[in-house]
Structure formats: structure tokens, C-alpha cells
Amino acid sequence: MTSLGSLQEQGQSPWLDNLRRDWLQDGTLTTWVESGIRGLTSNPSIFQKAIAGSDLYDAQFDEVTASGASVVDAYWALVKSDIAGALAALRGVHDTSNGTDGFVSVEVDPSLADDTDGTVEAARELHTSIDEPNLMVKIPGTAAGLPAIRQMISEKRSINVTLIFSVERYRDVMEAYISGLEAAEGDLSSVASVASFFISRVDSEVDGRLEEIATPEALAVRGKAAVAQAQAAYCAFLDTFSGPRWHALAKRGAQVQRPLWASTSTKNPDFPDTLYVDALVGPNTVNTMPDATIEAFTDHGDATRSIDVEMPEALDTLAAISAAGVDLADVADVLEREGVKSFVDAFDDLLATLGAKAKY
């Protein structure tokens, strides 16, 4: 049996990609933390499933709407309540790790993905209203999100950059983080950030295209794009967080912006259920996993360092995928649009569900 502590020994922090109110009430989240979970991520889809699928939120929703709050404001009241409980459960991890771990992420309204000013305002409001040192606000790594990320970092607000699907955009995200730190004043040790690089969705999209091409060269690289791209991203991370520019910030207490492997449950039943954990183990990284993936890893995962073992081969693999006829830039564009849409749809569906419950 593999423990989550074995990932920590390799320098990787295992985070939980889920949150439910019953876990806060019955101690399940505390048990996860005691087993080695070092942080937690949420998104609109997670809250849609949690709130729409449970009656545990009904009393608070009725109370908030009875006071005259809108359905949207009531939604945020429910979300902030759960986030507050998670922050409390993970505060000890944050304190004992000197502000490296123990973070809980909550996402801005996903409809703001192409609205820089709206994202800045929403992220600032979440940080101000929740006001806990282990909060990370999630901002999509869209073109419009980049200046918002830089602005929030310059204000020393910890940010989880989400929905990253290409190494090129990842480089832009790291630049936004570093330039934001450079614009901040004084000690930087309280600022933390992760860059959430989505994994399994890349294989799903690339493999579908490879199967349509169906040449021997295309079929030979099925199931390899996501891991190879993550390994290339890690190489970019090592390059970026080194050298004089970074060292000047590190002297002011700056933390590296760790790559976070997201969407790490396998979508293809032909793949091992721990593929996107086993293949991406390495120092200064985070892997945020759904509870089922954590349980699978704990049962039969492999915590051997793997992220930087085959970096040259990873670049060759990406080149072979491109040579086979897959446009990886287009893949990233499609996945970003779909990712934003899926979160917007989940947000809208939940608001519709809550609206039907409102007793105005």
C-alpha cells in the first residue's frame, strides 16, 4: 500500500479535488488531512454536484434568501461557508508548512473568464470577504486572466491559476506571476501561487484526433500527449524559476509558483487508474486528485520520482504528435473554451436549481 506521505517524500503535495458539506460535518475532511492531504481545490462543477445533490444546504439557503438576498448572493454564501470550513480544517497544515501548503481554492464566477476588470474585482472581493492566509482564489489562465493574475499577485493575494492546457500559455502564466511579484512591495513570503495544468482532458482530445488520422505514426503515440506535455511544462518551470531574475525575488522571500497537475482521474478505461499520478511525481509540484483517485493511489500507486526522468523523450513525443497531424495549439484553444463553458454551465445549472427552491 502506498501512502500519501510517500509523495511528500518526493517533494510533491497531494491535494484533494472535491468538497462537500457532509465531509465538513462528519469529520471526513479532517480524516483526509490526517491521511496526508495537504490542500484542497474546488470549482463550479464540484459545488454544482455538492449543493444540487444534497439537502444539507437547504436551511442556510432558505435563511439567506429570506433576508432578501438574491439567488446569486445566496450561492456565494453557501460556497463561502464550505470554504471557511475547509480553510479551518487545513489551517494547521498551512501553519506547520510555513505557508507552503494547506491552501483551499475557490474560483471566481466562471463567466468572467474573458473579463479582466471583472475578474480583478471578483478575486479581490473573495480575498477580502474570506480573509484567511490559506485561501487561494482561482483565476482562469485565459488571455484576459493573465493581467488579472499579475494584478492580484502584485497586491500579495495568493492565486491558483486554472485551466492551463499548453506549455506556451503556462509560460505566460509564470511571467504574470513573476512580474506581479516584481511589482509588489516589501517581503514576498506571504504570497503563494500554483499553476493548474490540466492533464487527462489533453489525452482525450489528442487521442480522438489521432484516431481520426489513423496512420501507424498517429496510433503509435496515443495516450502519450498529456504526460509528455506535463513533463515539458515541468522543464519550463525549472528554467523559469532559476537565474538572476528569480533569485532577486527569492531573496525577498518569494516562493516558486508550483505546477499543479489537475484533471488527474483517467478518462480512458484502458489506462491505469493512477496513470496521471504515477507518471507525474516530482519535487515542487502539486497533484490535486478526486477522492476515488486518491483511494486508488493509496491502494496501488507508485510514488517513484518520474516527472523529470524522460524529459528528452517527452519533447520527442510532442514533436511526433505534431508530425502526425495534430495541432497542439488548436487542442489547447478547444480545451480552454470547453473548460470555461463546462464551469459556466455548471454555475448556471446550479443557479437555476437554487432559483427553483427560492421562497420569495
In a domain, 348, yes or no: yes
Tell me what percent of the chain is helix, strand and coil, each rounded to the nearest 5.
Answer: 60, 10, 30
Asked whether residue 55 is assigned to any structural domain, the reply reads yes
Rg, Å, the chain Cα set:
20
Instruction: Give the CA distances from residue 186 to residues 83, 176, 183, 250, 253, in Å, rounded to whole numbers and listed in that order.
Output: 29, 18, 10, 12, 9
- Whether residue 103 contacts residue 160, with contact meaning beta carbons closer than 8 Å, is answered with yes
Which CATH number does the domain housing residue 148 bear?
Answer: 3.20.20.70
d(CA 23, CA 73): 23
What's the pLDDT at 1? 59
Q: Is the Cβ–Cβ distance between 168 and 137 less than 8 Å?
A: no
Digit-by-digit pLDDT tens for the chain (360 residues) are: 578 999 999 999 999 999 999 999 999 999 999 999 999 999 999 999 999 989 999 999 999 999 999 999 999 999 999 999 999 999 999 999 999 999 999 999 999 999 999 999 999 999 999 999 999 999 999 999 999 999 999 999 999 999 999 999 999 999 999 999 999 999 999 999 999 999 999 999 999 999 999 999 999 999 999 999 999 999 999 999 999 999 999 999 999 999 999 999 999 999 999 999 999 999 999 999 999 999 999 999 999 999 998 778 999 999 999 999 999 999 999 999 999 999 999 999 999 998 988 865
Catalytic residue among 138, 156, 267, 359: 138
Would 319 be classed as within a structural domain? no
CA angle centred on 151, ends 260 and 130, rounded to 5°: 70
Which amino acid makes up residue 46? Answer: I
Strand segments (E) across the chain = 12-16, 40-41, 104-107, 135-140, 159-164, 193-198, 258-262, 285-289
253 in a structural domain: yes
Provide the 3-class DSSP secondary structure of residue 211.
helix
In a domain, 291, yes or no: yes
Tell me whether residue 359 is one of the annotated catalytic residues.
Answer: no
Q: How many domains does the structure of the chain reveal?
A: 1
pLDDT of 310 reads 75
Task: Output phi, psi for 42, to 5 deg.
Answer: -135, 165
Residue-number span of the structural domain to which 144 is assigned: 4-200+241-302+332-357
Residue 219 to residue 217: CA distance in whole angstroms: 6
Q: CA 78, CA 64: separation in Å to the nearest integer?
A: 9
Q: Would you say residue 287 lies in a domain?
A: yes
pLDDT reported for residue 360: 55
